Chains A and B, each alone.
Chain A
Amino acid sequence: MAGTVTTITARHHRVRRATSESLPVKILLIIVVVLFFGLFLAMPLVVVFHEAFKHGVRAYVGYFADAATQHAIHLTLLVAAIAVPLNTIFGLAAAWAITRFRFRGKTLLTSLIDLPIWVSPVIGGLIYVLLFGRQGWFGPWLAENDIRIIFALPGIVLATIFVTFPFVARGLIPLMQAQGSAEEEAASTLGANGLQIFLRVTLPKIKWGLLYGVILCNARAMGEFGAVSVVSGHIRGKTNTMPLHVEILYNEYQFSAAFAVASLLAILALVTLILKAIAEWHAAHQLKAGSKAG
């Protein structure tokens, strides 16, 4: 620990490096960044809250009394409550397999995990329509057995799982690669079985990285628009999640109500940002402590 403290204080000493820039360049760069940040990030946030509270706090609270709005919030929470734990398990399993074993097709698996990031979410949603929709591959069979996937909760959950599945695995893989498997090997020579190794050695070492992935996964699960939009059918009070509800309210010229719901999503984003920063800091710290002790 003492070593970590000294490196942090050392960083504060002003050292003029060959790569440092002249003052005008520095000022220019800072102005560009501040302007960009203000225009694209800070201002929209201010606008969201300004519009949401335009008619006062009472009106703001009033918007959430609407049954359809409440249903949208419930649905979003429910979908996240299903998708996030499933993706946590999947992400852990994938990261474990990729970082701890040598096998054929590992590179393929690693790129497949990233697939939802490169593919447009709309396509992600469309896949499920093509599979489970009325005209889809399994459509007739599902209709016969009276199972609804598209334009219902299962479809929304599937689409959300699809878009959010890279986050946990991607958060864990670099961390687990950097940590190596020496401690796990030591645990196994000491007689620990797979589950004991996972619970007593692996999990404590990756908990912050895992939390980081889960936070991002959750944020995306609650905020996803494109993929969910395709499979949901926008049935008010039935299959509308919060982001879809914002759009509907906006299209119906209920601007303040739309911004009120949007403000909830904005708060979620801010909380996510703070939690993410904390988790990131701890994960980096944990990695540093680990590499130091060896």
Chain B
Amino acid sequence: MSIELHRISKSFGNFPAVQDANLTVETGKIVALLGPSGSGKTTILRIIAGLEFPERGRVHFEGVDVTNRSAYQRKAGFVFQSYALFNHLSIFENIAFGLRVLPGHKRPTKDKIREIVESLLEAVQLDGLGRRLPSQLSGGQRQRVAFARALAIEPRVLLLDEPFGALDAKVRKELRKWLRKFHDKTHLTTLFVTHDQEEAFEVADRVVIIDRGKIQQSGTPDEV
């Protein structure tokens, strides 16, 4: 499913975080939003997810205007920079969360939920750790739990905020490869935010460069 932003502006007090931004992520593509910290890239991601609302401009998912829909109606898979795992819930329950809050007629049975969660744990190489708490996992493992949790709801798009920011170099490299492979398998429309050029060029089909709230440039890694 494609994501389109039309002339989005958002400010916090007097600070213009995003100015007149246009951005398209085509269906099935993985796009990197590259910029220094404070450039407004995370704000754009949050606007797409419905966690912030723009002052001007529209957000479209697959041509449908979702600007006025709240986050829980948009169901964009979001992986937070700090992971934002539910610390009081086990890894299993973290991943199952999005399924448990579905309205009765859409909610899978308990056995089905178990099946889905187990297969996700396997997909992110965390099988057997379902009963642990987030505080008992390493940074890289938490990051993968955050991924699995976002994927459990079968999101239409995947939004990643500095997905590898807090990890050491080796784990970063591995997860980058894993993300690219995962995307090649699923072709889930993905937008990820990063300040790391290498990361953007290695993983993305297309790179969008943002600075001081304005989109500066956009193209394939070769073009940019």
Chain A residues within CB distance 8 Å of chain B: 1, 182-183, 185-193, 196, 200-201, 204-205, 286, 289-290, 292-294
Contacts and interface: CB of A to CB of B under 8 A. Distances in A.
Contacts of A191: 72, 75, 98, 101-102, 153
B213 interface: no
A286 B87 CA distance: 9
A190 B84 contact: no
Given A204-B88, A293-B87, A182 B82 contact: yes
A292 B77 CA distance: 24
B76 A200 contact: no
Nearest to A188: B71
Contacts of A201: 86
Indicate the size class of the contact surface on chain B: 20 to 34
B49 A187 contact: no
A293 B97 contact: no
A1 B51 CA distance: 31
B70 interface: yes
Interface of B: 49-51, 70-72, 74-78, 80, 82-88, 97-98, 100-102, 133-136, 142, 149-150, 152-153
B67 to A, nearest CB: 16
A196 B100 CA distance: 10
Given A182-B82, A188-B51, A205-B87, 13 more contacts: A1-B133, A185-B78, A186-B149, A188-B50, A188-B71, A189-B71, A189-B76, A189-B78, A190-B149, A191-B153, A192-B72, A289-B135, A294-B142
30 contacts: A182-B80, A182-B84, A183-B85, A186-B84, A186-B86, A189-B50, A189-B74, A189-B76, A189-B150, A190-B72, A190-B97, A190-B98, A190-B149, A190-B150, A191-B72, A191-B153, A192-B98, A193-B72, A200-B97, A200-B100, A200-B101, A201-B86, A205-B87, A205-B88, A286-B88, A293-B85, A293-B87, A293-B134, A293-B135, A294-B82
A179 to B, nearest CB: 9
Contacts of B100: 200
B167 to A, nearest CB: 13
B80 to A, nearest CB: 6
Contacts of B84: 182-183, 185-186
Residue in B75, B85, B97 whose Cβ sees the most chain A Cβ within 10 Å: B97
